[in-house]
Chain A
Amino acid sequence: MNHIFEIGRYWIFMKNLMHTPEKWRMYWTQILREMESMGFGSLPIVAINSVFMGAVITIQSAYNIVNPMVPLSAIGIVTRDSIIIEFAPTVMMMVLAGKIGSAIASEIGTMRVTEQIDALEIMGINSSTYLVLPKLIASLFILPFVVIISMFLGIFGGWIAGDATGACPSADYLKGLQDQFLAFNVYFAMIKTLVFSYIIITVSSYHGYFTEGGSLEVGKSSTKAVVYSNILILLFDYILTQLFLA
């Protein structure tokens, strides 16, 4: 029952959000501000995660391939594809849900409990549009770039680790990277990134926007934002994979 209520309220929230902005210039400033914080702000965590995950995938693949018939370049293929298809768009976006999602939910939640959202409404401003639309637009622009950077860094991490440990010599790895490369995989990853960005921003904003109470509830909203974003990302990852790859 509760879930049906939440889903209904989410759709109404979505509908209210899609409104023409009062003043594009104000929105534009907001969009740039959000792009900066989501894009640059995410780079450190994305870099660390990507490099290490790439390294781990390479070493594990090497460890798993025991058959001498399989060329070492297969490790390059495996690392490249797992990073492009799954790690960068899905796992990385789940990490970003933790970072961006919780920040959005607590920002909007705080605005709700300190009556800042009421103040917006009283001025005759569409609060959900003003608060959420710039974030949504910014994320749809900037997060694909973040994911592409994550792909490069992950593949780079695998290369360094493979060469340093001797698990996969540089030449084999680079050969593997070029073998059987499908551009479609990158497109697929971009589609996933857009869908997941939409999920993170709208779900987190929703939980922030409907916070009731005080600072304790703001914390709860922020937890809920991350949990629900992650569950929905996994669910949609499954659905999209079925749709495009099955």
Chain B
Amino acid sequence: MIEVKNISKTFSTKQVLFDISCKFEPGKINLIIGTSGSGKTVLMKTLIGLFAPDSGTIIYDGRDFIQLDRDGRKDLRQDIGMVFQGGALFDSLTVEENVMFPLSMLTDMSLAEKRDRVNFCLKRVNLENAHKLFPAEISGGMKKRVSIARAIATNPKYLFCDEPNSGLDPYTSLVIDELIHEITLEFNITTVINTHDMNSVAESGEHIVFLHKGAKWWEGTFTEIMNSDNKELHGFIFASKVMQSFKKLYLKENA
């Protein structure tokens, strides 16, 4: 479980996060939603220590991340997998080497074991014929999937995904959502996902945190969204016509 308490973050003069507290539980998909620029990426990067918060604490199963020293952080991070918004694949390595990289750096697995693990991970993200290609030679969606494969390669206890399905077609997007859902349940991972994909929100809406202008505006489940009367939240969720008709249908059915 990750406990976030009173996190604030300012860049020079601009405050981006305002006193955010929440809990992310294991075996569950925790979604952070919000409009572009609302601070989702900054929050996620603060959680994993790429940005230092102005104040507040972040506790990973009893380990206070802010108080940890360099080596402590290093240890903790070996339990963290992260999918960056832009993929962040290593340009100089092939797809296969990218996924193998954390295994080579952090484990004592033999080459054969590493190969098996890489094949397994790439298969799970539906990428089986791209092993020898370089990141520059594959599409944006493929990069995303490689990035997911790399993040899950070391069996992390905590998985962070910054918009894992932006730039993917609806089908692949669904496959990715299901994949993340499956491994979250299977290994009891604490999964945190940034998204503004409404499908994901509807599919895996067990715990949703809505950020608005850098503050936690609302928190709950997808069903609770339907019954909430938060104006900004509804403005965000039901911005599209499809979602509006969905809402009407839902209210009719559940009336």
Q: Give the B-binding residues of A (Cβ under 8 A).
A: 22-23, 25-26, 110-111, 114-116, 118-119, 121-126, 130
Residues in B neighbouring A121, C-beta threshold 8 A: 50, 77
| B50 close to A118 (CB less than 8 A) | yes
What are 7 sample pairs from A and B whose C-beta atoms fall under 8 A apart? Answer: A25-B104, A110-B91, A122-B80, A123-B105, A124-B77, A124-B78, A124-B80
Q: Does B169 contact A (CB under 8 A)?
A: no
Q: Does B208 contact A (CB under 8 A)?
A: no
Residues in B neighbouring A22, C-beta threshold 8 A: 105-106
| B75 close to A124 (CB less than 8 A) | yes
**A64 shortest CB reach to chain B, Å:** 49
Q: Name the residue among A22, A114, A124, A125 with the largest chain B CB count within 10 angstroms.
A: A124
**B138 shortest CB reach to chain A, Å:** 15
| A123 close to B50 (CB less than 8 A) | no
Are A23 and B89 also in contact (CB < 8 A) when A121-B77, A124-B77 are? no
**A127 shortest CB reach to chain B, Å:** 11
| A123 close to B106 (CB less than 8 A) | yes
Are A119 and B106 also in contact (CB < 8 A) when A124-B77, A124-B78, A126-B74 are? no
Residues in A neighbouring B170, C-beta threshold 8 A: none
**A211 shortest CB reach to chain B, Å:** 15
Q: Does B84 contact A (CB under 8 A)?
A: yes
Residues in B neighbouring A118, C-beta threshold 8 A: 45, 50, 84, 88
**B201 shortest CB reach to chain A, Å:** 25
Q: Does B102 contact A (CB under 8 A)?
A: yes
Closest A residue to B45 by beta carbon equals: A118
Residues in B neighbouring A111, C-beta threshold 8 A: 90-91
**A203 shortest CB reach to chain B, Å:** 22
Given contacts A119-B88, A122-B80, A124-B73, 19 further A-B contacts (CB under 8 A): A22-B106, A23-B104, A25-B104, A111-B91, A115-B84, A119-B82, A119-B90, A121-B77, A122-B48, A122-B77, A122-B81, A122-B82, A123-B77, A123-B101, A123-B102, A123-B154, A124-B78, A125-B105, A130-B105
**A190 shortest CB reach to chain B, Å:** 31
**A164 shortest CB reach to chain B, Å:** 44
| B82 close to A26 (CB less than 8 A) | no
Closest B residue to A29 by beta carbon equals: B104
**A178 shortest CB reach to chain B, Å:** 47
A115–B76 alpha-carbon span in the complex (Å): 20
Are A122 and B105 also in contact (CB < 8 A) when A115-B84, A116-B88, A116-B90 are? no
A124–B151 alpha-carbon span in the complex (Å): 12
| B104 close to A119 (CB less than 8 A) | no
Closest A residue to B50 by beta carbon equals: A118
A114–B87 alpha-carbon span in the complex (Å): 8
A125–B86 alpha-carbon span in the complex (Å): 20
| A122 close to B106 (CB less than 8 A) | no
A116–B90 alpha-carbon span in the complex (Å): 6
Q: State which of A26, A114, A124, A130 has its C-beta within 8 Å of the C-beta of B86.
A: A114
Are A116 and B50 also in contact (CB < 8 A) when A122-B80, A123-B77, A123-B102 are? no
Residues in A neighbouring B154, C-beta threshold 8 A: 123
A122–B156 alpha-carbon span in the complex (Å): 11
**B155 shortest CB reach to chain A, Å:** 13
**A119 shortest CB reach to chain B, Å:** 4
**B window 102-131: CB within 8 A of A:** 102, 104-106
Closest B residue to A122 by beta carbon equals: B82
A158–B89 alpha-carbon span in the complex (Å): 49
Are A115 and B105 also in contact (CB < 8 A) when A122-B77, A122-B82 are? no
A119–B84 alpha-carbon span in the complex (Å): 8
Closest A residue to B83 by beta carbon equals: A119
| B80 close to A116 (CB less than 8 A) | no
A26–B78 alpha-carbon span in the complex (Å): 17
**A89 shortest CB reach to chain B, Å:** 30
Q: Name the residue among A23, A116, A119 with the largest chain B CB count within 10 angstroms.
A: A119
Q: State which of A26, A115, A124, A125 has its C-beta within 8 Å of the C-beta of B88.
A: A115
Closest B residue to A117 by beta carbon equals: B88
A134–B50 alpha-carbon span in the complex (Å): 24
**A116 shortest CB reach to chain B, Å:** 5
Closest B residue to A33 by beta carbon equals: B92
A118–B48 alpha-carbon span in the complex (Å): 10
